[in-house]
Amino acid sequence: MKTESIIGAAVPRKEGLDKVTGRAQYVDDIVLPGMIYGATVRSTIARGKIRKITFGDGVPWHEFVIVTAKDIPGTNCVSLITDDQPCLADDTVNHPEEPILLLAHPNRHSLPKVVDAVTIEYDPLPAVFTLEDSERAAEIIWGQDNIFKRFLVEKGDVDSIWEKADYIVEGEYRTGAQEQLYIENNGMIASFDKERGITVWGSLQCPYYVHKALMKLCNLPKERVRVVQTETGGAFGGKEDYPSIIAGHAALLAIKSGKPVKIVYDRMEDMVATTKRHPSRTRHRTAVSRDGKILGGDIEFVVDGGAYATLSSVVLSRGTIHAAGPYYWPNIRIRASAVATNAPPHGAFRGFGAPQSLFAMERHMDRIAAIVGISPVEIRRRNFLKTGKTTATEQTIHEPIDLDKLLDRALELSDYRAKKQRFRKENEGSTYKKGIGIASFLHGAGFTGSGERYLASVVGVEGCADGRVRVLVSSTEFGQGTKTVLCQIAAETLGLAYDDVEIAQADTGEVPNSGPTVASRTVMIVGKLVRSAAQGIQQTLISSGYLSQGYSREEFRKACANYVAEHGTFKSWSQYEPPAGIFWDDEKYRGEAYAAYTWAVYIAEVTVDLTSYSVTIDDFVALQEIGKVLHPVLARGQIIGGVAQGIGFALFEKVAWRNGRMQNGQMTNYIMPTSADLPPIRVYFEELGNEHGAFGAKGIGELPIDGPAPAVVNAIEDALGVRFDSIPLLPEDIFEALAVRPQSEGQARTRQEVS
């Protein structure tokens, strides 16, 4: 067998050459014979009854394919978790930009004008636009109380701690919506054949989500629905659930027209109509001892889900579990809810609820430190989780963790202590105020709780006639490196060269359902299944006498080719089974929330210019423990990209809402950080291994977006001495805060007094 390890090597990306040479086929590169183009007519109001649809004069309507809800052959819903969202609004609309009617024509350039020629008259209904209005339930817009989902986490006896506390620290923290802003807009092609059924090709993350939705919408059995992922130019969660909608629209037009139909959104439609990160509000009330130890606390976490349930329940779930951060709470109560408003549904975005609740936790830790009178570093150190301690869900941490060591290394790498002292002196009398801030955090790898057990993911590895090996998974590549690392895992397992392994296109007609490409699960969960399936190939060849132990690469390839020649198709399958000791109680919301966590300490250094009130991030240290680095370049790229998005979340990306509609749906007025706005991002890893992941790896895709926002805002507070509890934090927010500088550090009390 080979001796040089592929794990840990920076091998070339599997799809890299096609991308850089232009051979890669994105959905808008594909043209099918006889293909026509689709467009969507959308609601212009937030909530109301559809009274009348008028098709304007001067348009040859007979040339256009027109689809309404009445043309749907199956159930009018976007099937996901709660099937409450219609594919096309029938009599009622519940958010701006809700799809009502579809058009298709051979000339794609004629469609925008024709969409404008459709007039829809409404009887408006009262709408709800804020978390607070939804909670008051003066207007019921969903269910009985506007609540999509509630969770309650309880550990210990929270009610008994308040009188024992030396300090009770309260705070409220808010985060805004954030647009995924992937490079490639949403797009899909659908083709219908009476015998074969529906086939769709498109830019997506989760082929089997789309497959499930099309079965129900089109009233077709699973064997007559095929979903194929084309090359996908970024996703970040924004192509988890939404592709089911655009695929459904293309499919309905294809069924009615009998022709292939392509729908590709332009940038504005993609931004105003599709999902975004959930806005949130988190309230903390924490009992603390005189020496800075957390005695317990009450956390209320609320997210704005928009008009339909979509993924809000699972976003809320992850945000709830992460709300306590990487700290030990002897007593804690977390009450969480996702509420309805008349905005387009919010959905998946990298981090999936954790960036919202962790922002609140890390800002609150700095507040506690200020009130108790110890440093932000020391407040964290005194409360870190340790091996053998339990999380908020009473999961005992069995994996080896050393957050003290991680903290010390981050402090050393950033020169934290020296800079802290130097900045205090340099800031005196200067219009450039410098500060340094810290965030410590964790992120669970894989689906929350019993999610992986319910998914029961399956992967395959195939031995081919030429002696090469193919990986069969529905896990998708959208820039993060899925194809590369899964091939590394298979090659390492089998003792082959990296080039001996290929990965099949994510096509539901060929690959099994290995679960969605979300939740930082691909390397840890799917990767371990790939390793198991590859071992099945290896064991079959050895046990059947085609191969001996200690084989060479050439011997394996010859044995594989011989086996296929004699027996035909040669595939090995592996299905997920919950590891021993992993149990989750869905009713009590208690137990092992994740098989493994990644851990991190991030430190940001900033300068605030008091002439422009702008913030420059001068340096950023990102240190994380991720089990095992499988591909150093891809891993570093994941961290840098996540930090960049987290900086955008903190300082730049503000969605301007008016009556539930995004007003700045263009890249000219939705401001995101460019390379010129980013600091040197210094990435470091600790590797302690992980028994639940392939070769010790944990998932890292979401981790790096959890920590930048609180680290940056903590640094700004350090520079200015003013507290900021909402993001995005824009220059005008800093100006206003300095103009009305608060006189106290906020809501805190000892048992003797209230301040």
End residue of a domain, out of 273, 296, 328 = 273
What mean pLDDT, rounded, does the chain reach?
96
Tokens found for residue 40: 């969507």
d(CA 739, CA 737): 5
Look at residues 330, 448, 331 and name the one whose alpha carbon lies nearest to residue 389: 330
d(CA 208, CA 228): 10
Is residue 54 assigned to a domain? yes
Would you say residue 343 lies in a domain?
yes
Q: 3-state SS string over 130-187? A: CHHHHHHCCCCCCCCCCEEEEEEEEECCHHHCHHHCCEEEEEEEEECCCCCCCCCCCE
Q: Is 238 helix (H, G, I), strand (E, B) or coil?
A: coil
Sequence length of the chain is 755
The answer to whether 278 and 237 have CB atoms below 8 angstroms apart is: no
Residue 307, C-beta contacts closer than 8 angstroms, at least 6 positions apart: 85, 94, 95, 98, 141, 142, 340, 341, 342, 343, 344, 345
2 is a domain residue = no
Q: Looking at per-residue confidence, does 508 or 754 come out higher? A: 508
pLDDT, one tens digit per residue, over 713-722 is 999 999 999 9
Give residues with Cβ within 8 angstroms of 364, minimum separation 6: 169, 171, 173, 284, 286
Ranges assigned E (strand) in 626-669: 657-658, 661-662
Neighbours of 288 (CB within 10 A): 25
- CA R_g for the chain: 27
Please report, in angstroms and rounded to a whole number, the separation of the first and last CA atoms in the chain: 70
Query: Which of 216, 241, 273 marks a domain boundary?
Result: 273
Per the structure, the count of domains in the chain is: 3
Structural domain of residue 511, as residue ranges? 16-24+457-575
Find out whether 17 and 11 touch, Cβ atoms under 8 Å.
no
pLDDT of residue 742: 52
480 and 556 part of one domain:
yes
Average pLDDT over residues 178-186: 98
Is 70 exceeded by the pLDDT of residue 744? no
As a whole number of angstroms, the distance between CA 54 and CA 299 comes to 50
pLDDT band at 753 (very low <50, low <70, confident <90, very high): very low
pLDDT at 748 > cutoff 70: no
Residue 166 belongs to some domain of the structure: no
What does the pLDDT look like over 222-277, one tens digit per residue? Answer: 999 999 999 999 999 999 999 999 999 999 999 999 999 999 999 999 999 999 99
pLDDT tens digits for 98-120? 999 999 999 999 999 999 999 99
Q: Tell me the C-alpha distance between 116 and 114, whole Å.
A: 5
CATH number at residue 298: 3.30.365.10
HSE, side-chain direction, 13 A CA sphere, residue 408: 4
How far is it, in rounded angstroms, from Cα 501 to Cα 470? 6
Could you tell me if 264 and 290 lie in one domain? no
Q: From 253, 273, 293, give the residue that closes a domain.
A: 273
640, burial (CB in 10 Å: exposed 0-12, middle 13-18, buried 19+): middle
Q: Is 288 in the same domain as 361?
A: yes
Shared domain for 470 and 427, answered yes or no, is: no
Both 593 and 525 in one domain: the answer is: no
Residues linked to residue 296 through DSSP beta bridges, in sequence order: 287
pLDDT of the residue at 3: 56
Angle among Cα 351, 352, 353 to the nearest 5 degrees reads 100
Question: Is 60 exceeded by the pLDDT of residue 746?
Answer: no
Q: Within this chain, do residues 227 and 112 fall inside the same structural domain, yes or no?
A: yes
Is 6 inside any structural domain? no
* Residue 528 sits in the same domain as residue 613: no
Residue 592 Cα distances to 311, 386, 394, 397, 447, angstroms: 21, 16, 8, 9, 11
CA–CA separation, 189 vs 35, rounded Å?
Answer: 9
Q: Are strands 197-202 and 225-229 parallel, antiparallel or unpaired?
A: parallel
Per DSSP, what are the bridge partners of residue 190? Answer: 200, 261
Please indicate, yes or no, whether residues 693 and 711 belong to a single structural domain of this protein. Answer: yes
Q: Is residue 254 domain-resident?
A: yes
**Do 20 and 72 lie in a common domain?**
no
For the record, the structure tokens of 575 come out as 């299905």
How does pLDDT run across 612-641, given as a tens digit for each residue? 999 999 999 999 999 999 999 999 999 999
Do 541 and 605 lie in a common domain? no
165 lies in some domain: no
Residues contacting residue 601 through CB under 8 Å, at least 6 positions apart:
403, 406, 407, 409, 410, 438, 439, 440, 623, 624, 707
> At 681, phi and psi to the nearest 5?
-105, 110
Q: Answer yes or no: do 74 and 207 share one domain.
A: yes
> What CA–CA distance (Å, rounded) separates 301 from 338?
9
pTM to 2 decimals? 0.96
pLDDT in tens, 667-706: 999 999 999 999 999 999 999 999 999 999 999 999 999 9
Residue 544 forms part of a structural domain: yes
Residues 685 and 716 in one domain: yes
Tell me the sheet residues that pair with 264: 187
